[in-house]
Chain A
Amino acid sequence: MRSFLITVAAALLLAAGAGAQNYKAPRTPDGLPDLQGIWQVRDTAAAFDVQDHEGALGIPPGLSIVSEPADGKIPYKPEALAKRQANFKNRAAEDPLNKCFMPGVPRINYMNFPLQIFETPKYTLITYEYIHNYRTILTNSTKHLDGLDWWNGDSRGRWDGDSLVVDVSDFNDQTWFDASGDHHSDKLHVVERYTRTGPDTLRYEAAIEDPEVFTRPWKISIPLYRHTEPNFRLLEYECQAFRDAAGEGSR
């Protein structure tokens, strides 16, 4: 009986805590939770460094978006941490974006550029203003491709209540999580969760695992905001790599 009461109390507490997250997304004509629209982060520092960081030349200060582990730090293996520090030092030359490469997932979702979500019963499409990237997220219960690596990975989605859950695999080892050299191998596996939290807010979460680089899986969480400006739309953004006078790769 006592344990039953505790369970009930815990359930009530959980329900209360989850209250703010119980926003019920409107439905599309196909009956799917409606995530459609043009979204963008307001936390523009995450794309520079997903962890707590001070401001530096070209890097705005920001708080960690790493929600797990609780210390907000990426659980690197020692040798992988050393590589991260080397990447940070050489970031001007080594950041894949400075070579106009595709950003990879999840980085592309918290870059300071708008993205647009379209839903159909068989797939969800995300188009990105940043260098005409797009992701076709198949939601037709098909499996990942095998034996081919992609910059943005291969995305397969499913609807879980009000959330779109996307399993992303088949990555190459060339992309970073941010402009500070946070990196991964081609064993990277990302599970994303997109959940409406209000009329104009969308929570983006990603669970990240890569046994070659991290000691344990970790998670990020960051809100996206709807663009409500009249006539807002994605524009063209092309990337042009060049060398500045100091010989630094730049954009």
Chain B
Amino acid sequence: MTLKWGLASAALGLSLAALPAPAHHSFAAEFDVNKPVTLKGKFVKMDWVNPHTQIHFEVTDADGKVTEWQSEALPPNVLYRQGWRKDTLKPGDEIEIEGFAAKDGTASMWTRSVKTPDGRRLFAGNADALQK
């Protein structure tokens, strides 16, 4: 647990105060706005499925142990209309995902944004977006 959170960015906590409490049940049930997390890892694949897309990526900790993480994001049509394409992220890409961790402590999170290898930060949905 400590190891995982060691990777989380503390700076993100600052932006949380402005965030309204999530009303979307699945978000509130699964993710914790009090656990902001930023992880760097290797992109594996993305499931373009409803109701939420899933980004799979591998995170290597300081000891070299690899954990496969799953980060949930907005639905395919919403991402598509924001400019995402199915090949926006390519297997092996070094990405940085910023979002909220799962309440149950598993290797899963909710995606707010993804930083691509070329330095773009792609918005992928935050907690309040889910209320719409």
Of residues 127 through 168 on chain A, the ones whose CB sits less than 8 Å from some CB of chain B are 145-149
B85: Cβ under 8 A from any A Cβ: yes
Q: How large is the interface on A (under 10, 10 to 19, 20 to 34, 35 or more residues)?
A: under 10
Q: Digit string of A166-193 for contact with B (CB within 8 Å is 1, else 0)?
A: 0000001000000000000000000000
Question: When chains A and B are docked, how far (Å) is the Cα of A24 from the Cα of B48?
Answer: 44
Closest to A174 in B: B49
Residues of A within 8 A of B76 (CB): 148
B5: Cβ under 8 A from any A Cβ: no
Tally of B interface residues using CB under 8 Å = 8
Residue contact A146 to B85, C-beta cutoff 8 Å: yes
Of residues 53 through 111 on chain B, the ones whose CB sits less than 8 Å from some CB of chain A are 76, 80, 84-88
Question: When chains A and B are docked, how far (Å) is the Cα of A146 from the Cα of B76?
Answer: 13
Residues of B within 8 A of A145 (CB): 80
Residues of A within 8 A of B86 (CB): 147-149
Closest to A170 in B: B86
Q: Shortest distance in angstroms between B124's beta carbon and chain A's nearest beta carbon?
A: 15
Of residues 25 through 53 on chain B, the ones whose CB sits less than 8 Å from some CB of chain A are 48
Closest to A145 in B: B80
Q: Digit string of A95-126 for contact with B (CB within 8 Å is 1, else 0)?
A: 00000000000000000000000000000000
Q: Shortest distance in angstroms between A74's beta carbon and chain B's nearest beta carbon?
A: 27
Q: Shortest distance in angstroms between B79's beta carbon and chain A's nearest beta carbon?
A: 9
Closest to A148 in B: B80
Q: Shortest distance in angstroms between A171's beta carbon and chain B's nearest beta carbon?
A: 12
Question: When chains A and B are docked, how far (Å) is the Cα of A245 from the Cα of B48?
Answer: 32
Q: Shortest distance in angstroms between B34's beta carbon and chain A's nearest beta carbon?
A: 34
Question: When chains A and B are docked, how far (Å) is the Cα of A145 from the Cα of B81?
Answer: 11
Question: When chains A and B are docked, how far (Å) is the Cα of A76 from the Cα of B84?
Answer: 33
Question: When chains A and B are docked, how far (Å) is the Cα of A145 from the Cα of B76?
Answer: 13
Question: When chains A and B are docked, how far (Å) is the Cα of A49 from the Cα of B97?
Answer: 45
Residues of B within 8 A of A148 (CB): 48, 76, 80, 85-86
Residue contact A149 to B48, C-beta cutoff 8 Å: yes
Question: What are 13 sample pairs from A and B whose C-beta atoms fall under 8 A apart?
Answer: A145-B80, A147-B84, A147-B85, A147-B86, A147-B87, A148-B48, A148-B76, A148-B80, A148-B85, A148-B86, A149-B48, A149-B86, A172-B48
Having A148-B48, A148-B85, one finds 13 other A-B pairs with CB under 8 Å, namely A145-B80, A146-B85, A147-B80, A147-B84, A147-B86, A147-B87, A147-B88, A148-B76, A148-B80, A148-B86, A149-B48, A149-B86, A172-B48
A residues at B contact (CB < 8 Å): 145-149, 172
